[in-house]
Structure 1
Amino acid sequence: MPSSKWGRVGTKLSYTTKHVTNRVSGVREDQRTTILDISVATGLSIGTIHRKLRDGTIERRSSRLKPLLTDDNMRERIAFCSACGY
């Protein structure tokens, strides 16, 4: 049954799309690894961030953190691969 009220009824938007994108873009990239990290850094709820991810307002990215090998680790890997015949 449709609503008997005319106009735009229902819960009003708390945060506009522009407001959310501005807050998320203001967060450093190393703090954007998970939805929880973004939520804590921006003060927005996890549900709001998840909704904006689904809508396409915010784009998902793969993790920017990549493990870097030290020179010792690289030498050990090369020695291991050489010993195993890879």
Structure 2
Amino acid sequence: MENKSVWKSVKTSIGFAKKKFLPLLAIILIVSVTELIIGGISTYLIYSISASLMAQILVQMLLNLLIFPFLVIWVTYYFREWKASNQLA
């Protein structure tokens, strides 16, 4: 974070998490519930076609491969927006 040391970056992140706890929790819950629903549907569909555990594992891995970066991008966007609004104020 802008050529800061690790500890200053961690301190900034902790401050952000404390001030924006509920919105961050909401983002994480929304993404988690969405992943849970998609995962449940995919599990049902895979097991209705095949009993292969490997197919289920691969689908879960692909789902996480798609969803986790989306969560990181969403939180990063929210952090940058918060940071810009605090610098202007």
- Fold shared per TM-score above 0.5: no
> Which structure exhibits the higher relative contact order, with contacts defined as CA atoms closer than 8 Å and separated by 6 or more residues?
2
TM-score (norm 1): 0.29
